[in-house]
């Protein structure tokens, strides 16, 4: 896939959780959602980020070179890696901001903390597998 196609597909994937909350809750801003509605949004965002990372960092190998890994062409384009890292950081920041918002309003944030930990584990596993490639 071309880089521009990957970027367009990633933007569409990342817009899906926002479109879902705008359609379902009639509110496009996730920070105005109630706690359990935000958790549903955040889970859908984690899934969208994971799928978009898979799209961004997917390397298609020719059929004759599937089993032979040559050093040439095995590296990702640096802009794709930067985009993938930025998406992960923005996703984590969104959860951390909501965590701080919940703490300042004296709301229960246990499930959000679990989701943030789960999010960190998923991203660290993805980055380890990407480094090995």
* 8 A C-beta contact, residue 21 and residue 85: no
Q: Where are the alpha helices (DSSP H) in 26-77?
A: 35-56
Q: What pLDDT is stored for residue 82 in this prediction? A: 79
pTM of the predicted model over 0.95: no
* Nearest alpha-carbon partner for 59 in 30, 86, 80, 38: 80
Those residues whose C-beta lies under 8 Å from the C-beta of residue 81, and which sit 6 or more positions away, are 57
- In degrees, rounded to 5, the angle at the alpha carbon of residue 84 between the alpha carbons of residues 82 and 85 is 65
Give me the tens of pLDDT residue by residue for the chain, a chain 133 residues long: 787 888 899 999 999 999 999 999 998 899 899 989 999 999 999 999 989 888 887 776 555 454 444 444 445 566 667 778 888 889 999 999 999 999 999 999 999 999 999 999 988 887 777 666 6
């Amino acid at each position: 896939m071309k880089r521009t196609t990957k970027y367009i597909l990633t933007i569409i994937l990342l817009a899906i959780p926002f479109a879902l909350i705008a359609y379902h809750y009639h509110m496009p801003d996730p920070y105005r959602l109630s706690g359990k509605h935000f958790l549903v949004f955040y889970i859908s965002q984690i899934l969208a980020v994971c799928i978009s990372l898979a799209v961004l960092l997917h390397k298609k190998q020719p059929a004759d070179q599937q089993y032979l890994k040559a050093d040439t062409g095995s590296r990702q384009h640096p802009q794709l890696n930067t985009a993938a890292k930025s998406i992960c950081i923005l996703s984590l920041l969104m959860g951390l901001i909501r965590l701080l918002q919940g703490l300042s309003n004296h709301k229960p944030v246990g499930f959000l903390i679990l989701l943030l930990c789960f999010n960190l584990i998923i991203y660290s596993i993805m980055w380890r597998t990407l480094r090995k490639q």
